[in-house]
Amino acid sequence: MLKCTKLFSNVNNNTNQILSPNPMSLEEALKLADQIVFEKTGQHLDDLQKAVLQGTLKRKIYRQIAEDFNYSESCIRGVGAELWKILSKELGEDINKSNFRSAMERFYNSNILNFAENVSGSVNICQKQRHPPDTPKSHQPNQEKSHSKQPATLHQDLDEMPELGIFYNRTTELEALKTWILQQNCHLIALTGIIGIGKTTLAVKLVQQIKDNFDYIIWRSLETSPTFAEFQADLVQFFSQSQPENLLENTQKFLPLIKYLQKHHCLVVLDDIHHLFSSGELAGKYKLGYEEYDCFFKQIEKLSHESCFLLIGWEQPIKLLQVKSKKTLIPILQLTGLDINNAREILKDYDLAEIENWERLIHLYQGNPLWLKSVASQIQELEENLIELLPDDAVLLPEDLKDSLQQQSDRLSQPEKETLSLLVTKNQPISLAQLLETTQIPPSDLFNTLQSLCQRSLIQKQKSLYSVPPVIRQYYGNKLRLNIEGFGDKTLTKSEFIDS
């Protein structure tokens, strides 16, 4: 609890006025709250926190405050809840929206005499450290906000970030990501794309370029599917640089981590986020027991802070993308392949003799660097002029490429398998109307399924026409011919498929 002796030195420096207890002005109440919050967190109130307190002092309900400041009501509630918690802790009594004003007045008046005795003192004279105890020693810059553009100390945990090998181009994508992160201060950004397209590589390059802009930067792969409690404990440990607390029993589940994200300017990169989602379901549905991530990401999106989460994976949290609106900007970068010139460089790395067909090859493999590497390696091993020997539309599927596609294939739901099978049988792009005529999947399920397949980058939509890219067509075509793993519409015979 706060034991102030001279807290009010800059709340009201007119001793004559304050010697007789009287109601505080709105401004005084705000200043007092600001000082109390500063004592606790080392940061002054931000604009949104001020808005919540001002609205509260004017006896507005959360919904009105939210409307006045163009925020969602839940966001305002979250900010309020965090403030009441800080104030309650510091004042040693239960503060909430309905008693905030009277509590401030009580506290103000009960400390006035102390203030009068010490009016010449400085602001920070409480018997507490200026910085909260959980601020790492190395991170106690004498600044109002720790997230200045050039932090005094940079805290990094990039052990899980892969090393960057050869890197071609991606200038446009890097610029887009930098704008979202550094200029627009987006809280959440989704980087998605088919396996091997270069998501991780792009993010590594990005981190290398922008890491000096952050106080804290952390890279985690979610490949081991950590539960939210494990994930939070891991990050809190990094931030606090102390032993993990027993957060599992904490009732206010997201506050420990969010507290750090609000206090500092952090970049958190979460790679392989698809490991949080179920196999056998449409893309981006949380596994059982992983829904807490959803609440957490929503808080990250809504609350006031300057930190950013970059979510990378084959799938993105479907619920999060659904709340997307003009107010909540969650940019999504669906990564496509390298352009012809840069993809050419990859083939050159394999010392393949340049041939006219290279461009066709790059188109077939959609400029996917992993696929190009795989096929270049096979060509290198077998026969340099292999491509010239094959028909124009022949797609080589080396075993490692098939293995990587299998990983994504294993995650598909049955309706996705059926729809993909249907699309694979069509030689031409097909409209929604044609699809509806052909399939027995109910329309609303079909729409969700198509959305999900597009999200996974397994199908393409161009001018209202759906099609399957050549590598995917070849891969799933083989499965369909063999009628394995749930592929193959029961109404479609093998001969029908081959004829179509």
Ligand X SMILES: Nc1ncnc2c1ncn2[C@@H]1O[C@H](COP(=O)(O)OP(=O)(O)OP(=O)(O)O)[C@@H](O)[C@H]1O
- Give me the residues that bind Mg ion (CB under 5 A), please: 199-200
Closest separation in Å from C-beta 199 to Mg ion: 5
Nearer to ligand X, 11 or 396 (CB): 396
Report the number of secondary-structure helices (H) and strands (E) in the chain.
23, 9
Binding letters toward ligand X, positions 351-390, x by CB under 6 A: ------------------xx--x-----------------
Closest separation in Å from C-beta 358 to ligand X: 16
Reading the block at residue 119, the tokens are: 């009016």
Closest separation in Å from C-beta 323 to ligand X: 25
How far is Cα 71 from Cα 494, in angstroms, rounded to an integer? Answer: 55
Stretch that binds ligand X, among 83-91, 178-186, 190-198, 412-420 (CB under 6 A): 190-198
CA 256 to chain centre: 18
Nearer to ligand X, 342 or 451 (CB): 342
Closest separation in Å from C-beta 170 to Mg ion: 14
Nearer to Mg ion, 192 or 200 (CB): 200
- φ and ψ of 208, to 5 deg: -60, -35
- Report the residue count for the chain: 500
CA distances (Å), 405 to each of 141, 273, 366, 489, in order?
A: 49, 17, 14, 20
Q: Using the Cα atoms of residue 220, residue 221, residue 222 and residue 224 in order, give the sign of their dihedral.
A: negative
Q: Which residues does 58 contact at the CB level (< 8 Å), separation at least 6?
A: 26
How far is Cα 48 from Cα 297, in angstroms, rounded to an integer? Answer: 19
* Residue 190 near ligand X by CB under 6 A: no
Q: Which of 6, 147, 170, 479 binds ligand X (CB under 6 A)?
A: 170
Closest separation in Å from C-beta 157 to ligand X: 20
How far is Cα 436 from Cα 446, in angstroms, rounded to an integer? Answer: 8
Stretch that binds ligand X, among 162-170, 208-216, 413-421, 485-493 (CB under 6 A): 162-170
* Residue 477 near ligand X by CB under 6 A: no
Q: Which of 41, 111, 135, 200 binds ligand X (CB under 6 A)?
A: 200
DSSP H/E element including 460: strand 460-462
Closest separation in Å from C-beta 400 to ligand X: 11
**Residue 156, number of CB atoms within 10 A of its CB:** 15
Nearer to Mg ion, 222 or 233 (CB): 222
Nearer to ligand X, 123 or 210 (CB): 210
195 touches, from Mg ion, ligand X, none (C-beta below 5 to 8 Å by class): ligand X
**Could you tell me if 255 and 239 are in contact, meaning their C-beta atoms sit under 8 angstroms apart?**
no
Q: How many residues bind ligand X (CB under 6 A)?
A: 18
Q: Where are the alpha helices (DSSP H) in 211-313?
A: 228-240, 255-263, 291-302
Nearer to ligand X, 162 or 442 (CB): 162
Nearer to ligand X, 200 or 366 (CB): 200
Stretch that binds ligand X, among 43-51, 195-203, 207-215, 478-486 (CB under 6 A): 195-203
Nearer to ligand X, 100 or 314 (CB): 314
Q: Which residues does 379 contact at the CB level (< 8 Å), separation at least 6?
A: 350, 352, 386, 387, 396
Chain residues in the site for ligand X (CB under 6 A): 165-168, 170, 193, 195-201, 314, 338, 369-370, 373
